[in-house]
Amino acid sequence: MRASGVLLSILCGPCVCIYVGFAACFCPARLHRRSEPEDKRRFERRQRHAPRPLVVRKRGLSIPLPEPEPEPEKLDIPSSPEELKQTTVFQEKSRLMALPLELREMIYKAVLGDDVMHVIHKENKLGHLRCKAKSEEDCPKRWYGEGPCRDSCWGVVDSSNIWMPVGDPAERSDGDVLPLLQTCRQVYSEAIPLLYSTNTFSFIDLDCLRHLSATILPSRFNAIKSLTIEWYLTWPLYDDFAQRMLFSTSLYPPHDEATWEEIWRIIAGMKGLQRLRVDLNYFDGFRDNECEQKMLAPLRQIKGVKNFTVYLGWKGKEVIGAPFKLTRPVTTGADDSSEDDW
Ligand SMILES: [Zn+2]
């Protein structure tokens, strides 16, 4: 056993030296991965401020509510805040409620639907920012180098990728949808399905998708029809050789393989999903095609999504038999002639 280990070291040693030397010369970013303590600190801070999963609780705004206990001396309009919170009053005099449901739904969608919601990781909860661009295609690229572009409509994040308000302390991070939803229970019950079914939910942080699935009702999560993910894969994802030979520790969530595969299990379980756009970046691509195939394997498990597109921000081989339409950067003849193995 010891002899085979020595033999393996003798055989693999030169390969490792060539690999490190080549990477340092031609792709230094691969070797300039964030140091482990920094990765660990970021992970621990995000763990401390992770949104807590949904607990079973009495619904505050949903209809129907349980029948209140009959108390003859306390009929009609409630008086205390607690009674107000738990009492449903029929809104027959409301002009909004006098409209047909179809018209009310048009109003709800105009206020809180048919838009792109960028989901952000805040301290102990999630938030969402409405896309400021005219269309999804016009939304500025969220990534610059290895992190979110600060000029985009994602706002500003700290070193742990947790959103932080800047400028106006009252900066909203709820998509400005709460005032309408809190109007009354009937409005809430009629409008809340449209919030999930008519908006595109946009992510640049895998943890946000994981937390969203755990912090809202499954029926709401399954009502989501449109999803976009933009993610910068972290080296050396799925590169067993590099992980074993160059690093003694593995990647921290959400940059590790386990989180990546969990995310795709969650997406595979989204019953209402009809549109999925994934935009991936990874330096200048995978070391070999086998690693890329391992990364794409969980995506192949997604079934029944009508419009599923994947963009890989690096050159590579054609992917066959996948449930998604894959695109890569357009290469020119000049690019091909100078292409290296990276
Ligand atoms: Zn945007």
Q: Record the tokens describing residue 220, joined without a space.
A: 């709401």
> 154 C-alpha vs ligand 1 centroid, how far in Å?
7
Closest residue by Cα to residue 194 from 177, 211, 172: 177
> 218 C-alpha vs ligand 1 centroid, how far in Å?
26
> 138 C-alpha vs ligand 1 centroid, how far in Å?
8
Q: Record the tokens describing residue 106, joined without a space.
A: 């048009």
**Selected residue with higher pLDDT from 15 and 278:** 278
pLDDT tens digit string along 127-147?
A: 988 888 888 888 876 655 555
pLDDT at 176: 77
* pLDDT of 79 strictly over 70: no
The rounded distance, in Å, linking the Cα atoms of 161 and 230 is: 14
Phi-psi label, residue 232: left if phi above 0, alpha if psi -120 to 50, beta otherwise = beta
ipTM (interface pTM): 0.99
- Express as a percent the part of the chain with pLDDT over 70: 71
Closest residue by Cα to residue 279 from 151, 175, 155, 136: 136
pLDDT tens digit string along 256-289?
A: 999 999 999 999 999 999 999 999 998 878 878 9
Sign of CA pseudo-dihedral 215, 218, 219, 225: positive
> 127 C-alpha vs ligand 1 centroid, how far in Å?
14
Lowest-pLDDT choice from 100-104, 146-150, 187-191, 237-241: 146-150
> 211 C-alpha vs ligand 1 centroid, how far in Å?
20
Mean per-residue pLDDT for 249-255? 84
> 144 C-alpha vs ligand 1 centroid, how far in Å?
15
Report the chain's mean pLDDT, rounded to a whole number.
80
206 class by beta-carbon count within 10 Å (0-12 exposed, 13-18 middle, 19+ buried): buried
The rounded distance, in Å, linking the Cα atoms of 237 and 245 is: 14
Lowest-pLDDT choice from 10-24, 178-192, 294-308: 10-24
Sequential DSSP letters for 16-41: HHHHHHHHHHH-HHHH-PPPHHHHHH
Model confidence band, residue 338 (pLDDT cutoffs 50, 70, 90): very low
Sequential DSSP letters for 276-295: EEEEEEBTB--SSHHHHHHH
Asked if residue 272 lies in contact with residue 197, where contact means CB atoms within 8 angstroms, the answer is yes
> 140 C-alpha vs ligand 1 centroid, how far in Å?
6
Mean per-residue pLDDT for 100-112? 95
Q: Parse the chain into domains and list their residue ranges.
A: 35-53+91-337
Asked if residue 257 lies in contact with residue 237, where contact means CB atoms within 8 angstroms, the answer is yes
pLDDT at 277: 97
Model confidence band, residue 38 (pLDDT cutoffs 50, 70, 90): confident
> 310 C-alpha vs ligand 1 centroid, how far in Å?
19
> 166 C-alpha vs ligand 1 centroid, how far in Å?
17
Give the strand pairing for 156-157 and 147-148. unpaired
Asked if residue 30 lies in contact with residue 235, where contact means CB atoms within 8 angstroms, the answer is yes
pLDDT at 251: 86
Phi-psi label, residue 302: left if phi above 0, alpha if psi -120 to 50, beta otherwise = beta
Q: If DSSP codes are grouped into helix, strand and coil, which group holds residue 42? A: helix
Residues 6+ apart with CB under 8 A from 234: 33, 251, 255
**Selected residue with higher pLDDT from 321 and 166:** 321
pLDDT at 286: 86
Asked if residue 154 lies in contact with residue 204, where contact means CB atoms within 8 angstroms, the answer is yes
> 155 C-alpha vs ligand 1 centroid, how far in Å?
10
The rounded distance, in Å, linking the Cα atoms of 177 and 175 is: 5
> 170 C-alpha vs ligand 1 centroid, how far in Å?
20
